[in-house]
Chain A
């Protein structure tokens, strides 16, 4: 693919960002990260308080990407088969089976949104994780494929009642965990409260230009990005050092206040996590009109691609977000390139 095509796709990507930024204000960084994950073909876990615009954000992206969009709400009584089919009594009085959210759009499923994933049982998690990893599902005596699907899930970290913590193996399947926080700009906060256009979410999402991207071409184009954007030896060495530092931060002089660093990390970033990090970094480089990855590209995605993969001692799990942020920032500060 020529440089011109790369540039055309970049314009589309930036156009999509721009469209979403009109709908969800004050979230430039999460929007850039979601754009990155779409082109890196990675699943996204959104984390944030209630009512901060997570669902609106995903719906806006889905409209821009095009393709099938399905959504399911995580509840404590949700079972795996609820994702695959529905049973009901038809007008003829006989039981009928219809396709569930996963199967409804067939191969055109582009976005599957799992709202409040941590309210669903681990059985549901395991099914979803298989679908995420293999983009396929066995049902009704046949194999169903979802080659264009990206899973967006969100979880509310504040409420712990009737929730199931997503295990580290499950978290590792997500390319990114992106925090969504309320913007602290007074003008934006005022607009969110008083501007009536933000009150009707459906109407708001409908203002996004539809099908900015061609969802069924994203996989192929993603491969082009990954093969076009280079990584120098110096950058590879830098990424490896970052990886080692997530495993043994003390070796790099990284310390977190109030934490026994010898006991903190049970497991650092996984190989899958680091490869996803570099995929995302390549996309970030492409979005910034670069032909090679820079350390700054890694920094742009480092926290969102690595933090949720770290496994800490249970005593530090309650402070996970804060500790992970400080530790990863310490690693970025400690590891030099070149």
Chain B
């Protein structure tokens, strides 16, 4: 009987021995020599404010130089509950996946880890994702087993609701920025207002501008308006001004415009319709200046000033604008 018992223990020992003999405790292995492994992690931007049910994704990219290579069975296992000082901390590895890319003298592993939070607390508490330990083996020496530690990522788990009366200033984490109000609406209105302001500014420049940098600018009346401002205040200046306006009218109409075909001109260029009366006044002035010195033009003592404002309004018509009301009354 004793023999039987010994044989049973012997067999039991043999059965268990290989597993215990070949099982590798990663944390007991020596660290990988420096320079063999390089690591790059893509961590979540948010490090605080997690609560129960949240999933946190982390990507680890390892480059392992030869002759070491990763023992892929040492990758973390889904469902493993993380512990800290032997205590379950309530963070579970939800999924793990990896891709491998072999290079000439190295191999790159892209490991995607997703952790899920299964804990909560009445106050915020610190937690960490990881660390994770991976085993590496020297391909030239199968006895050379080493470990590599993927550093942990510190996060903070927040309560779903504040328990009891809390003075918020005392509860604020330096890791968490100030609470912000949404400014999307204000931003939208700011952009609309800036756009409106810019258009208004362009419109103002269009009205006041002299150069031909917008459509319909630099027309013949715009040029004449500039020319008139440079003419001397004298009968000769008036004569030149009237001739320039005649030229502008003719250019605009593509024909010679006289008082007796003004109707045709206005029919062709309805933009100038608000100027019908003033155009007749202009022809009265032209009549006095060029043909009949005794004729009365009824434009007051400074017809040159009237002519300038008349041309300005013609310029507005040319640009498709409604001409501003004449402030200078004829005959004044």
Contacts and interface: CB of A to CB of B under 8 A. Distances in A.
Contacts of B294: 291-292
A76 to B, nearest CB: 43
A232 B290 contact: yes
A230 B247 CA distance: 24
A235 B260 contact: no
B256 A290 contact: no
B246 A296 contact: no
A239 to B, nearest CB: 12
Given A232-B290, A232-B291, A336-B250, A295 B243 contact: no
A338 B242 CA distance: 9
Interface residues of B, number: 18
Given A336-B250, A338-B246, A294 B292 contact: yes
Nearest to B259: A296
Contacts of B287: 294
A333 B255 contact: yes
The A interface, classified by DSSP as helix, strand, loop or mixed, is mixed
A293 B291 contact: yes
B220 to A, nearest CB: 13
A299 interface: yes
Interface string B247-265: 1001000011011100000
The B interface, classified by DSSP as helix, strand, loop or mixed, is helix
B295 interface: yes
Contacts of A291: 292, 294-295
Size category, A interface: 20 to 34
A334 interface: yes
Given A232-B290, A294-B287, A332 B256 contact: yes
Contacts of A336: 246-247, 250, 256
A230, A295, A332 pick with most chain B CB within 10 angstroms: A295
Contacts of A290: 292, 295
Interface of A: 230, 232, 234-235, 290-296, 299-300, 332-338
Interface of B: 242-243, 246-247, 250, 255-256, 258-260, 286-287, 290-295
25 contacts: A230-B292, A232-B291, A232-B293, A235-B290, A235-B291, A290-B295, A291-B294, A292-B291, A294-B292, A295-B258, A296-B260, A299-B258, A300-B260, A333-B255, A333-B256, A334-B256, A335-B256, A336-B246, A336-B247, A336-B250, A336-B256, A337-B246, A337-B290, A338-B242, A338-B246
